[in-house]
Amino acid sequence: MPRLGLRPSTAVYNAVIAASVRAGAVDAAYLRFQQMPADGCRPDCFTYNTLVHGVCRRGIVDEALRLVKQMEGVGIRPNVFTYTMLVDGFCNAGRVEEAVGVLERMKEKGVLATEPTYRTLVHGAFRCLGKERAYRMLSEWIESDPTVHSSAYHTLLYCLSKNDMAREAVQFVKKMGKRGYLLDSTTFSIVIPCAVKFLESNDLCELVDDFIKKGGNLGFDMYITIIKSLLRCKDISKAKLYLSQMVSDGLLSSVASYNMVIDCLAKAGEVERVLETIKVMQESGFSPNLVTFNTLINGYLKLGNVHDAKAVLKMLMEHGFMPDVITFTSLIDGLCRAHQLDDAFTCFSEMSEWGVRPNVQTYNVLIHGFCSAGHVNKAVEVLNKMKMDENVDQELGFLVL
């Protein structure tokens, strides 16, 4: 550039230094940095931040600190990006306490930490210290500093949930609740999946009830997650309570939403509750559809109640619906499990009369039923039928054998 009579600017140097850092050539970036004064270019905050980023990526945090002191010495004020990179550098070096110290220094300098700063610290602590040490250190730090931004709470709860630390998450929520901090629905939705896996039903309900009592709103998906967990634990009364709350909150506002609840109950074997829910559904002005009836059939068959499953099939047709492949496959599976193999094969044979084509799952269910009963010849007969069916993926069918 000098040969052309042009002098480089700070912006040009910054672009070259940034490109060198991105390429991992930090030494070349330093060389350009040192050439700047000779060309009459003064490094600015961007220049120093780029170099700080480069050395922190290499794990040379002490050099990053020296650069920060140098920039302060020439009258350039480090900004939030400078400090956030330092936090990341210290965490990556396993020096998390010094990373916390950077936040203290930010307060002294009047620089406000942002959400990325707090997220960097919390994620870095979990990454470098391990989950137990990270939780102890971060919870003590947050409890001792009332000025910490709520994003630090959110990120800590996120990390606790992702590390399956449900009890610690509940403990932390209670501690923060005493300080007036209320979980929002987004953060609570992060905690719930972990809570339902690792908490006893009483502890889970205490957490949920406290959230609702403090004005929190559970969405449809959260209610479904909680109800599924309670049904798995056979805590039917509390599941029913939350189901009633869903109705009160107006969350069951379509046939599809009712069907999702019915599916939860049917899979848990709670057919009586399914019938109650269908009744509430009809009273609310929603008519059951084919999915509703198929789900109810599955519920009865799960309990081995073939008789009532057939009764639902009749009810389904009375409501103007025609059985589909899901209906037939469910019935065939239920009959096989009830050791009524002749009826299962008859049901399979009647599918064509209803204009319903079997799918690979239908064939697999019937083949598995015959194989389990030792009727290999029958299984081979069904397999041969499947091989002749051009609409079925043959490879998936062979897996059952």
pLDDT digit string (tens) for 162-186? 999 988 988 888 888 777 777 888 8
- pLDDT mean over 248-257: 90
- What is the token pair recorded at 272? 């009586």
Per-residue pLDDT at 401 exceeds 90: no
What pLDDT, on the 0 to 100 scale, is given for residue 4? 45
Per-residue pLDDT at 2 exceeds 60: no
Per-residue pLDDT at 395 exceeds 70: no
What pLDDT, on the 0 to 100 scale, is given for residue 187? 84
Hunting for tokens 């639902």 — which residue is that?
Answer: 312
Per-residue pLDDT at 7 exceeds 90: no
pLDDT > 90 fraction of the chain, expressed in percent and rounded: 61
Per-residue pLDDT at 3 exceeds 60: no
3-class secondary structure, 114: coil
pLDDT > 70 fraction of the chain, expressed in percent and rounded: 96
pLDDT digit string (tens) for 267-310? 888 999 999 999 999 999 999 999 999 999 999 998 999 999 99
Per the model's pLDDT, the better-predicted residue between 337 and 148 turns out to be 337
Q: Quick one: which H or E segment has residue 351?
A: none
What pLDDT, on the 0 to 100 scale, is given for residue 174? 83
> How many Å apart are CA 66 and CA 61, to the nearest integer?
9
pLDDT digit string (tens) for 185-235? 888 888 888 888 888 889 899 989 988 888 888 889 999 999 999 998 888
> How many Å apart are CA 137 and CA 99, to the nearest integer?
12
pLDDT digit string (tens) for 60-69? 999 999 999 9
- pLDDT mean over 21-30: 93
- Could you give the domains of the chain? 9-139 (1.25.40.10), 322-395 (1.25.40.10)
> Exposure pattern of 95-123 as b/e (b: 16+ CB <10 Å)?
bbebbbebbeebeeeebebeeebbbbbbb
By the 8 A CB rule, do 36 and 14 touch? no
Centre a 10 Å sphere on the Cβ of residue 38 and count the other Cβ atoms it contains: 7
Centre a 10 Å sphere on the Cβ of residue 309 and count the other Cβ atoms it contains: 24
- pLDDT mean over 378-399: 74
- What is the token pair recorded at 84? 């956030």
- Residue 287 burial (CB < 10 Å; 0-12/13-18/19+)? exposed
Averaged pLDDT of the chain: 89
- pLDDT range class, residue 6, cuts 50, 70, 90: low
Read off the pTM. Answer: 0.74
- pLDDT mean over 52-79: 94
Per-residue pLDDT at 397 exceeds 60: no
Asked which of 7-11, 112-116, 337-341 is least confident by mean pLDDT, the reply is 7-11
Per-residue pLDDT at 5 exceeds 70: no
- pLDDT range class, residue 146, cuts 50, 70, 90: confident
What pLDDT, on the 0 to 100 scale, is given for residue 393? 62
| Amino acid identity, position 353 | E
* Maximum average pLDDT range among 1-10, 145-154, 385-394: 145-154
Per-residue pLDDT at 369 exceeds 50: yes
- pLDDT mean over 86-97: 93
What pLDDT, on the 0 to 100 scale, is given for residue 368? 93
* Backbone φ/ψ region at 58: left (φ over 0), alpha (ψ -120 to 50), beta: alpha
- What is the token pair recorded at 342? 């002749």
- pLDDT range class, residue 394, cuts 50, 70, 90: low
The contacts of residue 218 (CB under 8 Å, 6+ apart) are 185, 188, 208, 211, 212, 226, 245, 249
- What is the token pair recorded at 43? 């490094």
